[in-house]
Structure formats: C-alpha cells, structure tokens
Amino acid sequence: FLNPQIIFDVDLSEYYSTGSIDLDEISLEFDYLTTILNDESSIFSQYALINEDIIFSIQNEYLEFESFSLENSKISFSREEINNFLIYNKENDKYFIRLRLEYEWSCIIKVNLGGTSRIEILSSVQLVKYNLNVKYTSTETERISAFESSNPHDLAAINAPNYVETDTGIVVFPDDSEVDIGINSGFLRNIDTRQRLMIRQDLSYSFPDSQLSPISILVDQSYSDTILRFKKPIGYLESPTGFYINNSKRFSFITEFDVASVELYWFDGTEHLIGEMQPNLLEMNKFEYLWSTIDIDTGATSGDIIDVLIRLTDALLATNDYHYYFEADFVAPTPSISVGDGIQNFETEVSNPFTNIDFDSSVLPSYGWYEQFTSYDPSYMTSSLSPDDHSSAYTIDPLNMQNNFPNENTQEDWSSWNLNYDSQITASSFNNGDFNSYLNTPSDYIVPDQPEDFNVSLATQGDLSSIGSPKTTINAINNPIITGGQKAGPNEWNDWSWTYGSGSTDYGTLTNNDGDTNRIDATLYPSTEYLGLMFPESDLYNGDPTPPFSSFPWQSSPIASKLGPGPGNGEITAGGPATPSFCVVALGDSANIPSGSYVTKIEVTAFGYYSGAIDSTVTVGFNGGPGGGKDITFTSTTSYINTVTWDNLWASQYNDADVNGMTLWLRSDNGFQFGPLQHIDSVGVRVYYKAPDEYKHEYLIKWDVNDGSMSEIQNLWYEWKQTAARNTKMYTTTDGVNYNVEITGAALGSGTGYITGSFPIGPYVRNGDEVWIKVISDEGGDFDIRFDRLYIEYTAFVPDYSVDVEVEWSVPDLDLDSMDLKFAHSSTIPFDFFIWDYSGGGSWYKIVGSSPFSLASQYYDGSNTVKVKYVTDHSSSGFTLDIDMLKIDYTYIPRGDRFADITKTITDSFLNQYDSGFGNYKKLYDVTIQFDYQYLVDIPSYAQFAKFFIDSTEFDLIKDGSWHSFSNTFEFDSTSLDDFSVKFEISNGDLNLNNMDYDITFECLDTSDNIVLHQSFLVEFPDEGNIPQFEKEYGLWVINTTYDFVTINDGLTYYNKYGRTNKLEIIFNIKADGSWYNEALIYATNTSEAQRLSFDVSQYMRNNDLNSFEDFEIEYVISGHSTDLTVSDITLENNYQILEFYRTIDLNSGQVSAWKKFDSSRIATLNELGSLSEKFTIEYKVIEPSGNEAILSTYNGG
C-alpha cells in the first residue's frame, strides 16, 4: 500500500532574528483530514475492514525523522529540544523546524473473483492548519534619562497631579491643596519617554559622644521608584510657519505621546471651537486639521490679526493652551512683466538676447539687514586678542582674523662674538661665520730596545736608528719537519705466506693508485665425500616367459623382501636349463643427497653362494642410472660378500632425485650348463656423493719500513676487491699469534667492487716498524683477490731552518698626531715583513711597499704599542736575517687646552615682553636656534672635536666634512632670565657657519598650563530700532553669516576666552522680551571649512516660549596657532519671503518647460533666463508667504 505523507516547515525566524528574545517553549496543535477512496466495481463487497494510523515525526540534527506522539492533537517542545531540531537556512536567513505527517493504513476487503481484476484504492492526507503557541522571554532596553547620585539634594515644593496607574489604566483623583515633594535636580526632560526617579531615604542615628569622633549609624533605608510626567501636556506647532495666513491652511501640531486630544480654536476674547485635530495614522503624536474657511469663521479681512488657540488634554485630563498670532492676507498678488522699454509690442517686434526684462511681484519686502565689513565701526564692532596682537591681527573688507603664537625671528649677523684659545697649542681665528682652530705639532723618533723588545735571541745588536753598520743579526733556527704521507708496501711475493692462495704474475705498485693491480689466485679447498645406503623395497618384474626375451623368474618370490637388509630373510634362487633368471626391484629412498651435491660412485654388494657342479655369475645393473651391468661371481658354495663398483660418476651429476628414480636388476645367466644354482641372501647399494670442490684465500702479509728517518707509523691504506662474494676480511694481531683485530671498514662482504680506506695501524706495529696482517675468505667457487693499493703510511724527519721573530715597542705617552714606521733589512732567504692590525679581532698585515709605512690608528693600541714580525721562507741549511734600521718617527700635540671657542649673549626685548600686565600667563618661551654648518678636519689622524652650547647644554656636531643643519628648541623662563648665551667650541679643524637665526615664540600657557591663544570679534546689531513691531513678534527671523575658516592640526589643545577648546566658535546672543539670552547658539568646529551658517532665531524663540525678537549680537572666536577666519557678511532676514517661478512655452512646438525658481531682482535681460526658442511665452508665478499665488504671462513675437 502507498502511504501518503506531508513534509512541512514551521518558521521560527522572528524569535531568533534578534538577541533580545530567548525562546523557552513552543506548542503545536494540528488539524488534519484523511480519506480512502475505492472504485465502485463489483469486485467489492459492501463492507471493508480498514486499519489506519497517523504518524508525526520531526527531523533531528542527523537529518533523520524521529516520531513523536500527540496528546489531543498537540505536541510541545522545550528549549533544549528545539535547539536539537532547529535548522538554519543561511541563504534565506531563516530559522525553522521540519516535520512530517504520514498516513499509514491497511485494508481487508471481500473480493468477488468473477469481476474485473483491477482494484483501485486512493488514500490521501490533508494538513488543514496548525496553531503555533510560543513561550519566550523578551529583554527590552528602553531609552531613559539616567542619573544616579548619592549626594543629598534639596527638596522643593511642587504641585503634582493626583493619579494612580493600574493595570487597566490611569485613575485620576480630585486635586488637593497639599504640597508634594520634588527633587530639585534635572531629572525631567522634554523627550518622548517617561522619566523614572528612584529616591533613597536613609534613617541614621548619630552618636556624638564616641571616643573616636561622632559616628553615624544607618538604621533603615527605603526606596521609592516613581514615574515622572509633565504637569501639563506640551507640544509645538509644526505648520503653518510664519506670521501670514490666507483663507485655507492645514494646521499640524506635534505633542507628547500622553496627549489624548488636541482642539483648534479661534479666540477674540471668546473661544470659538473650529474643530478637533485628528492624529496622523503614521505618527500618532502628530495632530492635523485643515481650516479652509478662515475668512468666514473669523470675519477678518486682510491685515487683521487672528489669534489661534490650540488646547491639549492629556490622559490625566490636564490641559495646556498655546496661542499663535497670524496676520490675515486674503488678497492675491498682482505681478507684472515689462519687456524692452515697457511700451514695445513683441507680438510684432523681434527681441534679442539683450532685450531688457523686468519682473514685479507687487509684494512689499519684509525687514532685512546686511553687513559686508567694508569698514570698521567701533560703535558696534569690538576686537580683542589674547595675549596681544604681536603676531595676530585682523583686517577689514572683508573681516579677516589671523591668529598665531607671539613670535620673533632674528637672523645672526656674526657680530659681537668673543674668541678664546691658547696660542701655544692652537692657531685659531673667527670671521663672518668662518671659525678655525689648528693644532701645533712637534716631532721625535723611538727604536726598540735590544734584546728586550725581540722575542728571540740576537746574534748581534746594531744601531737601528739609521742605515749603516752595525746591523742587528738573527740566526735561523732549525725546527725539523715531520713529513707525513711516506709510504712502504710489501715486496712481491716474498712478504706473503700462503695457506690457501698463490700470487700470480700480475703484480703492480701497491703504493700508488694507478689501476695496476696485484692478483692473488685462490687454491682448492676440497669438499668431503658422504655415503648413503639403499636396499630393495618392492618387486617390479620377475621373469618373462614370452620369447624372444623369455626368462625364468627367480625363485622364492617376492624378491625384494628376501633381499632386504641383513641375512635371515630368506634367499632367492636362479636356475634353469639354458635360460636366464631376470628380475627388477625398486630401491628404498634412503640416500638423502643434499642439494648441490652429486654422486661420485655406486657400489652393489651381494651376499650369496652357488650350488651345483661349477661356479656361476650373477649380473647386476641399474635402470635410470650408470650404464652396463657388472658381474658378481660366486665361487663358493658357502655364503660370502661380493662387491661391484661404478666410479667416476661426478661428471654425470646424479642428484637425489636421479638416485631415487633408479631401479636395480639382477640376471643369472648359466649359458647352456645344467645343474648350477645361484643363491642370493641379501643385496645392498652404497651411494657415495659430495659437494663440488671449493676455493679459498687465507695467507699472512708481513713487511717493515726500511727508512732510517721514519718517525711514526700512522695508517694502513688499502684498496682491494674480490671477484666473487666470499666475505673476505683483513685482520691484524696484538700478540703476533692471534689475528683477532679486524681492519675495520675493509671487509669486502658480498660486493665485488673496490673498497678503499685506511686503518690506524700504529697500536699494532710489531718490532718497531713491522706490520702483520692476515687475509681470510669464505669457501666457494674459484675467485681472485686483487689489490690496487696496500701500504703503510708513516712520517719522517726533514731539516727546516727559518726565522719567525716579533718586535714590540711603544711610543711615549703623548697625544700623537702622526706616526711613520721606517725600516731597512735583508736576508739570503726570501722573507715577509708584517705589522699587527689591532682592528676587529686583530690580525697581521703584510707590508708590501718600501719604507716609510704610515701608522694609522689600527696599527697601535691605547698605549701606543706597535708590533712587527719577520717571517722567512724555510731552508734545509742555516742562514741569517740582518736588520739595518727599525724605528718610529712621530709628531705629537703638546698637552694643554687644545680647544678654541666663540661665545655670544643673546638679548631681545621680546623675551621680557610679557613680564608685566599678563598675570594670568606663565613667562615661558620656546626658543629655536638653527643654523647650517660644515666641519673640515685639519689632521685626520688626531681627534676631531666640534660642539655647540646653549648656556650649559652641549650638542655634538657632525664632523664628516659635509654640510648639515642644526635645530634645537628649548624653554626660556623670563621670570628669572633676561637673556641666554650660545657658544661654539672646536679643535683640529675649520667650522663654517651659515643661516643662523633665533626663533622666539611665547608659549601662551596660563597658570593651569592651558594654552590660551585666541582672538574674538564682536558685532552688535546696530539697527534694532527700525524693526517693525509686528515683525518683531511674528517674523521668521534667521541670522546668516558666510565665512571661510582655515586651521592646522598641530596636536595641541588651545583654550579660548570662554575656557573651551574649539578652534572656531560663532556665538549668537539674542535679546527677546526685554532680556538677553547669551549663547543662544554656539557653533563650534576644529577643522577647516567654508560655509554659510544660519541660526533660526524664531525656532529658538518658540523652543524657549519667547514672543518678541528685539536685538542680537554675533561673536567670532578663534583660537590656536595658524588659524585664519575670513567673514564675508552677516545678514538678518525675516524669512517671510515671496517665492518666484517662471517657465516658457514654445509657440512653434507647444512644448512647456518646467517651473524654475528664481530671484527676479537678479534678472535684467532675456539671455539671463538661459536658452529660449524662436517664439515663446514667459509665464511668471508669485507665491506670497501666506500661500496666495498669482500667474502672469507675456508674449514674444520672435
């Protein structure tokens, strides 16, 4: 049967798509239907027995479906179970579980076999629906105004609304006259969330009489968690904006969310309800109302003031009224257009791009004020700089403010420098930046002491300070050389003692690797012969009466058992008239010839006798063995043993299988004699066999070193091989008898190639100069041993004369300037002359050139010590080395003050400029001294010195001969100092100086170590008396200013006059309702920018519940070094401005352009309107601030 099934997914994505929901449990309830349908053929009886079952299963983490049981068509899964079954589809970002509904059924029916043979049964299952119930934990974070403080706060009396919040809503109680308690701290803010306030009340008891001090002990605490609400509902009018209103306006009011209703009234001393404002379906805190009959409802005319009242009511039934005042404007504008001179008719005349055009909106402009900073007017402009205007300034037309650290830069003119030096030691001068100081250098020489400074004995001692007699002489010393690599090999073949093996005529030189080998032939090593016995085992044939090979059988068969080993088994008898007896027997397998061995001979032994008149013969032979029979003649009538032999059988190569296959035949042939009988009691077969004969090497080699100069025997060298794998080895002896020390590495093993090596044979030398070795191999086929090399390596004494002498002496402890080594020497033997190089790890340097040799610093140490060495070639006979001159010439610097210096005191009034009158500033300056310099050394071998000093601080200058730049900044405190000094100090060189200057910058640090460097420019509005009162109260005021600000990021923090760290601040101060509101807007930035900044004054007034705009100030404050502010203008605008648009109609094509917004005051000719067609009409649209609009068109003839 076919079981229908449905696989479906339950989507749980909304519970896993956010981390704020933790799913705890889900419950599923299923509604499903099953049906079974069968055809109505006659094969069915009226009834059927149906068994059906519904199986629900869920897919687990192993992608297998596991079944579960329903209870009342429901199933629940815990969080842990859901995690096991949950599936995530990454592509669609879906979380779900997968279930299967399966309908299993079986049916027993009664079938009428006489009907049709086909049975159709249809089964189906239908999932109608499932209900998903979810239990989860949701964590929500609401925006709250959080403030926590453990400090006591002042309590204040407030009038709070009386209500209680329950599960069903807010229950309002009647007002009472009791004063409520409030916290005088800024917890309540005008935002769209409720404010919660938790108040902790502490009850403490004070113990004033404590020995330590008064102690306060906390007795009790209580907490109150309260939701704070506004006492009155609040909101603001979103539209209309401005103070003009026409006959139809949509009012939009934004409220807090607790506001229940908003009503719109017209008020003339009496409230006139216009209607209830309706909440916007998308923004439930926005209430809207379209008032389209303003003139009828109010009876007002253009120019009248209309008081609009909006009343808010919240959930506590608290109300709040907002009044808004508008000027009625029910008259549409009457714009006009004038083309050309105003009287030209361009329906007939042709215009051109420069034809004049004038637009008039007919709407009077509102108040405005424009400041372009063309001049400085102290009546309403004020500038201030801090600390002063030393390096900062402002200019007008336009306003440009430049702010910098107070700074002065002074170029050095090289005057007033003081030169100091010791003329006995240096020659120094200074002129216009060229400063030099050269050292004075006397000279002397020194020679080595004899013989103390030489490391060998001297034959004679001469005068080493000059060339000429007498000379210093050194005799060569004999240091005999032990020469290695001497060779001695054994003699042909006298040094060889043979056991197995023999020397051939193929003999070569054993001390050279020349390929000419020494061959040694192996000698025979005979193998052992063995015996095996065989006896008859079974009968194969006995007699054949059939001619022509007729024969009689031997009597007393069976034959083999009679002829078996040992007497007493019976006998066989042959005989008959002129007819032989013949039999064949098989032999038992008892020879057991090993593999590789072969038969050498076979013996057949018979034990028997004869009877009758004469002796007789029995012939024996082998089938499958050696050919031919052998006769055994019995000459006795009593039993005895007779033997026949087949020998020299090795060449036939009979092995064990061949022998096992041989059979023995016996024949008695009496000829034509009658009467004799042969009697055989037993027969035995002896089989002799052996392995092939083998060859072997075994011999001694003994030889000595016939060399009287021999020093030591070192190694035995060998290069040898075997022509077959015989594991040949080489041994030596420790006692002259036992050869038990193997020459390691020399074993030939199973290889047939040459093996080369050496063995330290020294410990095994016999009789002082003899070497004894033994060669032995395994047995095998014929093979050779071949030696290419076999010799003793030894050392020998050779005479060797040479001179190797070192001379070491020192120059006196002076400040050396230069040293030269001077020399003259000779010998009959070539030699090298060296000097010790102290650099690196030290090494001998060969002097190749002639005298003198300049001694650089690496050729003497810290104590001025010089070392030289003579090394001659070697000679087999004696000789001498003659030194005629060996000395050091040197120059030196007298000790004392070798330095020269130039000094100057730097005084500048700017260093004390802020000492008085700037009490809030520290008196600190950054002083930067910079210059270019080049130091050229005079004597390179002597110390080079160049330094620069600022007061007592010193700086090393680079002395490589190239130009360099120096710059250093130090802090100068004018509280205690009025000046500073600079100094250059040099020795042994020339210091060239250029471009030296002193840059002095006041740090502008206040007493709190803040950098206070700022500039401000205040503009006070000068025309406040000319603003119409109505516009003061109802104008849409905007202050605009256009500026370009440039600054740098130098990593420093600057403070402006208000203690803030902004590089630029534009501060707007507003006067409204008779009071000044300073810092109504502070715009700040720390990066460069250029823009037009606007301050919506009217919006600020609405936010602060102000009514009448009266005056303003704008202040520009910049701070920091290298800041630059350019202000182009300030404008005060009443944004009740008209909107102007124009469009054109192409009279040829009928095409109409889109409306374009423009400012008609900027248009004077047609070409300023852009591209126009050949014939066109211009339409001009004007929209007043109240919303009234009008459209006017004119015609152009082409």
Q: Is residue 917 domain-resident?
A: yes
Sign (positive or negative) of CA dihedral 699, 704, 706, 710: positive
Name, in order, each residue with C-beta under 8 angstroms of 517's C-beta and a sequence gap of 6 or more: 506, 508, 786, 787, 788
pLDDT under 70: residue ranges of the chain: 1, 39-48, 111-119, 140-199, 209-213, 224-229, 364-365, 544-550, 567, 575-579, 613-616, 669-676, 1136-1137, 1195-1198
Looking at the whole model, is its pTM more than 0.75?
no
Instruction: Tell whether 144 is covered by a domain.
Output: no
Residue with tokens 């034509």: 672
Q: Which residues are 831's β-sheet partners?
A: 872
Number of domains the chain contains = 9
Please count the CA atoms within 13 angstroms of the CA of 306 that sit on its side-chain side. Answer: 28
* pLDDT at residue number 45: 52
Claim to verify: residue 223 and residue 247 sit in the same structural domain = no
Same structural domain for residues 996 and 1078?
no
For residue 420, give both structure tokens.
Answer: 């100091």
The amino acid at 76: S
One domain, residues 616 and 469: no
CA distances in angstroms from 361 to 160, 332, 1192, listed in the order given: 54, 11, 10
Alpha-carbon separation of residue 1031 from 8, 242, 500, 1035 (angstroms): 71, 10, 143, 4
What is d(CA 695, CA 693) in angstroms, rounded to the nearest whole number?
7
Residue 33, H or E segment: strand 21-38
Domain containing residue 550: 529-690
Dist. CA 953–CA 974, nearest whole Å: 18
Asked if 641 and 573 sit in the same domain, the reply is yes
149 in a structural domain = no
Candidates 670, 639, 668; CA nearest to 570 is 639
Q: Are 898 and 823 in contact (CB under 8 A)?
A: no
Main-chain dihedrals φ then ψ at residue 634, nearest 5 degrees:
-95, 115
- Are 270 and 348 found together in one domain? no
H or E element: which one contains 1102?
A: helix 1097-1103
Among 735, 820, 739, smallest CA distance to 773 is for 739
User: Residue 98: is it exposed, middle or buried by C-beta count within 10 angstroms (0-12/13-18/19+)?
Assistant: middle
- The verdict on 653 and 544 lying in the same domain is yes
In a domain, 145, yes or no: no
- CA–CA distance from 948 to each of 747, 958, 973, 978, 984 (Å)? 82, 11, 21, 21, 5
Q: Which helix (H) or strand (E) holds 1064?
A: strand 1064-1072
DSSP state of 828: S
**Cis peptide leading into 565, omega within 30 of 0?**
no
Within a domain: residue 684? yes
* Residue partners of 1114: CB distance under 8 A and separation at least 6: 1018, 1019, 1039, 1041, 1066, 1067, 1068, 1069, 1130
Q: CB–CB of 428/440 below 8 Å?
A: no
| Domain CATH number, residue 875 | 2.60.120
Q: Are 618 and 582 in contact (CB under 8 A)?
A: no
Whether residues 534 and 682 share a domain: the answer is: yes
Does residue 143 form part of some domain?
A: no
Tell me, yes or no, whether 920 and 947 share the same domain. Answer: yes
For residues 1092 and 1177, membership in a common domain is answered with no
Q: How far, in Å, CA of 737 to CA of 571, rounded?
A: 63
Looking at the structure, tell me whether residues 546 and 683 fall in a common domain. Answer: yes
| Domain finish residue from 893, 918, 942 | 893
Helix (H, G, I), strand (E, B) or coil at 1127: strand
Domain boundary among 193, 228, 263: 228
Question: What's the CA gap between 1155 and 998, in Å, rounded?
Answer: 66
Q: In angstroms, rounded to a whole number, what is the distance separating the alpha carbons of residues 75 and 101?
A: 13
Q: What would the two tokens of residue 1005 be?
A: 């640090």
The residue among 861, 943, 992 whose CA lies nearest residue 439 is 943
Can you say how many angstroms the Cα of residue 499 is from the centroid of all Cα atoms in its chain? 77
Phi, psi of 570 (to 5 degrees): 105, 175
Q: 886 with 464: CB under 8 angstroms?
A: yes
Quick check: 1004 and 921 in contact, CB under 8 A?
yes
Q: What are the pLDDT digits (tens) for 861-906?
A: 989 999 999 999 999 899 999 999 999 998 877 777 789 999 999 9
Q: Is residue 993 part of a domain?
A: yes
- Rounded CA separation 1102/236 (Å): 8
Same domain membership, residue 105 and residue 42 = yes
**Rounded CA separation 931/790 (Å):** 84
CA distances from 694 to 180, 683, 722, 751, 782 (A): 133, 35, 15, 19, 7
Is the separation of the CB atoms in 875 and 803 below 8 Å? no
Measured CA distances, 78 to 13, 86, 232, 1169 (Å): 17, 12, 49, 75
Q: Which two tokens stand for residue 76?
A: 């629940």
pLDDT of residue 188: 40
The size of the chain, in residues, is: 1198
The strand pair at 215-228 and 195-207 is best described as antiparallel
Does residue 148 lie within any of the structural domains? no
Residue 775 CA to residue 727 CA, distance in Å, equals 11
Q: At 80, phi and psi to the nearest 5?
A: -65, -40
Positive or negative, the Cα torsion across 280, 283, 287, 291? negative
What are the φ and ψ backbone dihedral angles of 189, each rounded to 5 degrees?
Answer: -130, 155
Last residue of a domain, one of 199, 228, 257: 228
Are 943 and 813 contained in the same domain?
A: no
Task: To the nearest 10°, report the CA torsion of 814, 816, 821, 822.
Answer: -80
CB 597, CB 659: distance < 8 Å: no
Residue carrying structure tokens 């004899």:
450
Q: What local confidence, expressed as pLDDT, does residue 189 receive?
A: 40
- The backbone torsions φ and ψ at residue 296, rounded to the nearest 5 degrees and listed phi first, read -70, -45
- CATH number of the domain residue 286 falls in: 2.60.40.1220
